[in-house]
Structure 1
């Protein structure tokens, strides 16, 4: 198992519990999550429930019932989980919360982790490391190293990334909503409640700011004061959050890629999570898709008699939903992260009002919750209706 992210840890647990011998390899000396906040949707929650790991996530996370986006004093996005037929909420968490829940379970079950093992390549069922050593032969190698995995072709990052900060919850924000502010599609800020991570003593918020990757150096050169002024002008309510930021190093820049491998399976090797498919963060499905992939892999191995058949079954279980969300992400990214003017104008004056009417309210909720494509029913984890 290559990679100690969400996909790798979840897959390791599932396969170990099914009786497979599993070893995790991680390039960092100490496995750790990167980034700040994320939303665990009902799909991801279902996998964690099947793993028996949902309780701490719910206890430490924050329930999110709405996604709200405003532009020029217009509400152009209002997604309500209540529109789902079966209800449900998203759970806002710090990435460290999800990581800790999975990592602790891996350690508790005695699954081996080899750290400080930077992988360079894979041939003949063996992993080759950058220090010129290699493993013995494995029946199956699972690539869960993310979008920058050395085992997949390199992909250029998307134009826009985002700066993230983990801060004390403060200010006049809706406690159960992901709120965003836009200026056209080139400027976007958001505040997500992420509950109380282990490293905190009270509720926290993830603040994010959309930024072109090629303008990161200019942002640093301009200084914090200029950025704080711009954000507080766009969204005055963020002032109590901005007051907590005194150093640029409090913000982490995340870049994103968009691609799907045509062939995620090779003899004795499968790519899952972002190593197989990665998108912009607009639909917030990355961690949830990774959990679904891990469960599909376990299910494929349970159902099939041969390894090739098991991997083919894994791909069959996941391909349709992945392709659908890849398409939707590609279509929606320019609506929220681009330098254009026409598309955000249509968003604000046409898409926004229309989206508040039935059946668009239900369609938006299904899309955001990850239910489009019926992934839970396909995996036997419940109904998506």
Structure 2
């Protein structure tokens, strides 16, 4: 195992220590210096970004505009529940491999910690009305202590989420922020840094010069913006030409159609960056059908199918999210909050591992 991977594994094994700040401190960012801590929030990853048209994204704005502060304590150990708290974990796409891993992580955490977890699957990444209705239903049913949610829209879910809070349900967001400062915390993966590492890897791979296309996710979702902006930041390390950027809305079929049209329009493409593995497979299908296999596909998520594709050379590299530790951390934080009324920084972030390529993919496949 190389030193970077070793340091990352040490970091990912730790969980943030709760603290009891004042109301003003709650509105500050937390940051753990370097990779020695699990949870950190850097201004480059968390500040509001803008789209190509200058539109603002939808982060938790009251939190994201706060000044940065330092926080360095960690959990010394996990705790078990002193009663079987009733939790709902709501994921945003039952077909997405990353969301499925979140589900697995939450269910394993529930078993380990002694709580009841019910996982509700949304039908798609953009099914806003269905997610709102599902939350309304669990509020009406009662007997719920905590809600851990992967929201499909950072703004449109605010009203129903705050309705749940008014009903006495504690809420933790995971993966995508909610534009409310009333939730317990937001547990996130450092999408910006992971994508930046991918961009830098592409520059190195192409020796500083190349032509790139970018398949974005849903740009109304903060994680999609962070992945795009991080990748662009990484590309700045070289003389790279970005030919076009389009959103395929996390969908494989749409990514295939966009890529097929690109290949007719742009000659001599070197790399296609897909902001999730699912879109990467759509891009790969179009590339193969156009007999343009020299084009390298770079993806994001690090799901098992993507890792296998990296091993075979079908995908050149991927950034690996951490859904299992992410879900476990969220459940542990919820238990501590419900049991001991512990409070946490507004945003906690899990640091990314190194870029996964054919050189190190076997190590990560062995963990799946």
TM-score by length of 1: 0.28
- TM-score, normalised on structure 2? 0.29
Higher share in strand: 1
